[in-house]
Amino acid sequence: MPKDWSRSALDDLYLEGVITRPIDAIPFEHLAARRRDLRLPAMCLLAGVMAALLYVWPVLIMTQILAGGMRSAIFWPALAGSAALASLAAWAITIYENGYWGRNWHNVGDWADPPTWK
């Protein structure tokens, strides 16, 4: 049988039946639903960390420089707490907006979601 160079050697072994693929213990739909459920908290956590690094970290650094020093026992919990607080705020705002536009979707004009023919 001639070699098909568009596939890898592992694909050839699968196709010839030399090795078999293991059966997944968790169905793909379950993984997709879990990944979909974790998308919002992960994005809110990322937004909170970025907001803390953008806004809180420079203030803490300036406080440390101008005040003559700050203990790390104060600096790192303040930075981590601000990241957690910003993440929680981002999550709460997103949940509120999602519910608001879910209830009021009929009030949105055509400019927001125009039909495909326009």
Q: Which pLDDT does position 80 carry in this prediction?
A: 96
The values of phi and psi at residue 106, to 5°, are -75, -15
- Which structural domain, as residue segments, surrounds residue 30? 9-99
Domain total for the chain? 1
> What's the CA angle centered on 80, arms 75 and 85, to 5 degrees?
125
Helices in the chain by DSSP H: which ranges? 9-16, 28-51, 57-66, 72-103
What is the spatial distance between Cα 105 and Cα 114, in angstroms, rounded to a whole number?
Answer: 13
Q: Which pLDDT does position 87 carry in this prediction?
A: 97
Interval 29-58 mean pLDDT: 88
69 part of a folded domain: yes
40 part of a folded domain: yes
Q: Mapping DSSP to helix (H, G, I), strand (E, B) and coil, where does residue 56 land?
A: helix
Confidence band for 27, pLDDT divided at 50, 70 and 90: low
